[in-house]
Structure formats: C-alpha cells, structure tokens
Amino acid sequence: MIDKPLLAAVIALLTLSLVMDYSLSTFTVLHFHYSDFHFFIRQSMAILIGFVTMVILSKLDPDKWFHRVGLMLFFSFFLLMIVMQFLPASLVNAVGGAKRWIHVGPLSIAPVEFFKVGFVFFLAWSFSRKLLHKEKMGFLEEIRTFAPYIFIFLVAVVIIAVFQKDLGQVVVLGATLMVLFLLIGSSLKFFFTMLSGVFIA
C-alpha cells in the first residue's frame, strides 16, 4: 500500500530540487557556456531514473528481495571504492588528490552514495538476524557483540576519509551506526562511550 504522505513529501522535495537546480546553476552555465537547461535536464533524468527504480522496488517482496539488493549494494560498492583508487584517469579524475567519482559516458557515479544505502541494509539485516531477540547484554558483552560492526565502519572510514578525503560521509555513516546501535537495544552507557570515543578521535 502506498504511503501517500511520504510520496507527496518526496514529490515536493524533487520539484523543489528542480526549481533550485535551475536557479542556482546560472553562474556555472555562463562560465562553461552550457545551455540554460543543462543542469535542469540532468536533474530531471536523475529524478526519472530514481522514480522508476522506486516503483520497481515497491513491487518486490521486501522479505525476499530487499536484503539481497542491500547486500549487493554494500559489498559491490565497498569493493568499488577500493578498486577505483587504481582505475585510470580516463574513468576516475583526482580532484585535490581525492578520487570520488567514476565517469561512465555522460554519467558520473559516486560509489559512496550507493554504499551508504547498502550500509543501512547490511546493518538492519545483520541486526535482525543476530540481535533482534537477544536478551539484554552487559557492557562487555555489548563491546564483543558490536565490535565486528565497528571494525567494518573503521575500514570504511579509512577508505572514505583517507583516500576520498570526504569527512562528511564519515559523519553520516557514523551517525547511522550510532542510531542503529541505540534502536537495536544498546545501553546508554555503551552509546555514550562510543560517542565519547568519536569526540576524542
């Protein structure tokens, strides 16, 4: 069943993005001698692709397909973020020493954006299998239980912060991990210990 308020909010935000994209890209259009509708058309194409993808995914059985799609995004784009550091300049341009975008014809893809979606799917899938019905844990048991997830996050931090020089994405992933820890039932002691570690780091 369609969540009509959510769909309306998505459509409103997408419409606003088109208006802002057309109005805010004036300088770039003049500087690079693009057509007035260059970025508007690109944004419209991205919205169309995203909307079609959303409709297709809405037809799938979430219990059967969503974890598969999520895990595919997580593992494939995790590997792609590593491999892209060794791809030729014709595919990946280094900007300020950072390689964040892969150019495929007229399209530019940022693997970290797809990895973020896969990261949420992976955590939700793993937590639901291992922790959803687990008894309340002590502090040390929490550390042992959540350590593998923290390790995966730290590996992602090295790739994103060191090689791609994108601390903003690290903050988003870290906040996601912390919120999911809290939602799955971690103690406030563990939560604030992790939060303190983040500020110290």
Cα dihedral across residues 14, 101, 169, 66: positive or negative? positive
Reported as a single tens digit per residue, the pLDDT across 45-61 is 889 988 898 888 888 88
From 8-22, 74-88, 129-143, the region with the lowest mean pLDDT: 129-143
Average pLDDT of the segment spanning 65-81: 87
Average pLDDT of the segment spanning 113-129: 88
- State the pTM of this model: 0.75
C-alpha R_g of the chain: 20
Task: Give the number of other Cβ atoms within 10 Å of residue 156's Cβ.
Answer: 22
Average pLDDT of the segment spanning 161-189: 86
Backbone angles phi, psi at 108, to 5 degrees: -125, 130
Q: What residues contact residue 29 under an 8 Å CB cut-off, 6+ apart? A: 35, 36, 38, 39
Reported as a single tens digit per residue, the pLDDT across 82-118 is 888 888 888 887 777 778 888 887 778 889 999 998 9
Q: Under a CB-based contact definition with an 8 Å cutoff, are residues 167 and 102 in contact? A: no
Residue 155 has pLDDT above 80, yes or no: yes
Q: What is the pLDDT of residue 151?
A: 93
Residue 67 has pLDDT above 80, yes or no: no
Task: Give the number of other Cβ atoms within 10 Å of residue 81's Cβ.
Answer: 22
Q: What is the pLDDT of residue 25?
A: 64
Q: What is the pLDDT of residue 31?
A: 75
The domain segmentation of the chain, as residue ranges, is 1-59, 62-200
Average pLDDT of the segment spanning 6-22: 87
Two tokens, residue 188? 């406030």
